[in-house]
Chains A and B, each alone.
Chain A
Amino acid sequence: MTTIATPLTQTGAHAHTPSARVRRRLTSHGASLIAIVIALLWTTPTFGLFLSSFRPEDQIKQTGWWTFFADPQLTLENYQSVLFGTSSSSGQMASFLINSLVITIPSVLFPVALAVFAAYALSWLDFRGRDWIYIGIFALQVVPLQMALVPLLSFFSQGVELFGVTVLPAWDLEGPARFIQVWFAHTCFALPLGVFLLHNFMSELPGSLIEAARVDGATHGKILRTIVFPLVVPAIAALGIFQFLWVWNDLLVALIFAGGTADSAPMTVRLAQMAGTRGNEWQRLTAGAFVSIIVPLIVFLSAQRYFVRGLLAGGIKG
């Protein structure tokens, strides 16, 4: 990790370059003040939502959250009904929370693992057509995932048939087995960006490192494990966080591949249903939103370091 960080600080250290000037301005008192104001402005609605989630139903529906200070009334009822309600009408969020975790964790691990292998092969293995494959993967990012939804769903539900010959039978997944569909879909959709991101990072590693390892007789597996992997951890972490947030907040893919039952649907699907057929139970949304925010918040705060570093690694290069 340090090997990556050092060159970055060095490039920024030249005192009279334009980037140094920018840096100086960005760290001045005025800039700090502006940053604080922006942060306050951005946090206020979230804070209001948070406060609302503790207010009683009729108060949420009738008055704004700021009136809380004039007439403070707190209740945990919203959370109670959202998290542990036994009927599907009042939440059961707890079981959907578990579904969300079951969907998200593999949907992060699979694409990240595959992308690491693919990126390594595309940057350090010499084989014919390598660049074309890379360009192909790169180009796939352009394809919107919405286009692939119907074909992919039909691939699961009807299998693949070519000229009347069944190449692959239908998967016929029901109930909790539908998680497999969701993992598969998220993995597919995440790979182009993942490979691209990690490839950028890996191909920047000094070639002499890899060569030295080769001379010492290391196999590709060994090189990936002991040399490349530790060096690209920030990028992997950044990709992991991106993917985590994307999958956690995803509604579209989950709706189509996981369905809307408590067997397999994640929390986003539940949130979308929670307000009732005609949206008259929207007071639950405040608490529901906070339950769904809390996990990504923990992930983001605990891995924030990597997140920022991963972003910089993509942007500053060149």
Chain B
Amino acid sequence: MSLLSRPARLTAIAAGVGLALVATGCGSTETSTPSAGSSVSEECAPFAEYGSFAGKTVSIYSPIRDTEADLFEQAWAPFAKCTGMKITYEGTGEFEAQIQVRADAGNPPDIAFFPQPGLLERFAKAGKLKPASDKVKQLTEQNWSPDWAKYATVDNVFYGAPLGASVKSFVWYSPKMFQEKGWAIPKTWDELMALSDTIAATGIKPWCAGIESGDATGWPATDWIEDVILRELGPEEYDNWVAHKLAFNDPKVVAAVDKVGAILKNEKYVNGGYGPVKSIASTAFQEGGVPITEGKCALHRQASFYSNFWPEGTKVAEDGDVFAFYLPGNDPAKKPVLGAGEFVAAFADRPEVQAVQAYLAGKEFPNTRMKLATYVSANKGVDLANAQNPIDKLSMEILQDPNTIFRFDGSDLMPAAVGAGTFWKGMTDWINGKDTKSTLDFIEASWPKS
């Protein structure tokens, strides 16, 4: 394909996206009317617009592995088959280190799923990443809120669309327990604290938590802090804090952290089912909320993906054994949401690579993926009817809500020395008894100069 013809083709494709999706809708399994091109089989009709790339290979590198990786491969298999390309997928637990080595050595993958915008920014600034095509940019503007697109934009250049998402501002609880005891879901922070007192009065420790996670011990506590800072200081100040325009040991931050401390370091409130405050640091985050199912704890703040960790046979639903509610703020009218997700950035700009990026940015992919198993995407084009479980549905309702102010997990945006280092460590020490001020002073002092 010549360079001149590319823009023309892209506009044609972009126009076609909407049409094709309208044509297939969400009921692609129904017998739809035969598509215009009779040579294209019905199954491949949605992918015709991406072009044909017989014999081409696109490699994808990502931190998502195992079952979820299988589901990804299943989801894009029809796309790969119809366009004739081969997509080789590689998931690794050492993504952050490996991608650096491979990029430095001139052997990068075609596409990488970045779970941290901070990492994406570093590669973009080093000139390793290729800017996203106009089509991807357009699809992103169409399907995601500007909050999301912002995280993949570096120096006004847009590098790639978001992929999956997780909502972190959730408090897990047991609907059964709440119903039996007549507790109501709190709508404000004050109500949440009042509820905690009520629960504590019944002899159950209201909160349970676990922040042990091997090398990453401490991260669940950082999510707590971020959530509360976002609520106390507001999104703008949150951005300033993340960008270090607001000092880590600023009195406002200290106050917010103390607000978390009022829960996590309160012997009356924690650690339901496990023991004293210090047991938080030694409890694996995977097991942090499990006492809820045993009736030994009532509340557990953890991201939507915690639905994977409940013991087998636990029903995750509004009327089931466990479910989650939105972690309330001071003002019920405002809904700041802390979350995370991946971004699809490319190290190559070959047409087949751009086609894959465009496919992943469209509505087709998240809907197909959602039908297979649990998945959350902030893509506005997803049909909530495809959600496989109530918590995914609730997550996507929150993400699609126009009143939602989305902010990315701050520790993924900060320099790695802090976001994946001293912040985690500081929080672990804090749980173990260090006071708030000296913890934050320690983190502030570790912020890389320059």
Residues of A within 8 A of B (CB): 57-58, 61-62, 87-89, 149-154, 156-158, 255-256, 259-261, 269, 272-281
Contact = CB atoms under 8 A, between A and B. Distances in A.
A89 B72 CA distance: 12
Query: DSSP class of A's interface residues: helix, strand, loop or mixed?
Result: helix
Given A157-B107, A255-B98, A272-B94, A261 B66 contact: no
Nearest to A274: B66
Residue among B63, B66, B90, B107 facing the most chain A CB atoms (10 A cut-off): B66
Contacts of A281: 66-67
A276 B65 contact: yes
A89 B105 contact: no
A309 to B, nearest CB: 37
B101 A150 contact: yes
Interface of B: 63-70, 88-94, 98, 101-102, 104-107, 213-214, 286, 305, 308-309, 311-312
A153 B105 contact: yes
A256 B98 contact: yes
Contacts, number: 85
A156 B67 contact: no
Given A88-B66, A279-B286, A280-B309, A273 B91 contact: yes
Contacts of B98: 255-256
B70 A58 contact: no
Given A89-B69, A89-B70, A278-B308, A273 B93 contact: yes
B59 to A, nearest CB: 9
Most A CB within 10 A of own CB, among B63, B91, B213: B91
A281 B312 CA distance: 12
A157 B101 CA distance: 12
A280 B98 CA distance: 22
Contact of A87 (B70, B91, B305, B311): B70
Contact of B107 (A89, A154, A272): A154
Contact of B90 (A87, A152, A158, A260): A260
A154 B105 contact: yes
Contacts of B104: 150, 154
13 contacts: A89-B67, A89-B70, A154-B104, A158-B105, A158-B106, A256-B101, A259-B90, A260-B92, A261-B88, A269-B92, A278-B286, A278-B305, A278-B308
B435 to A, nearest CB: 31
A275 B66 contact: yes
Contacts of A152: 105
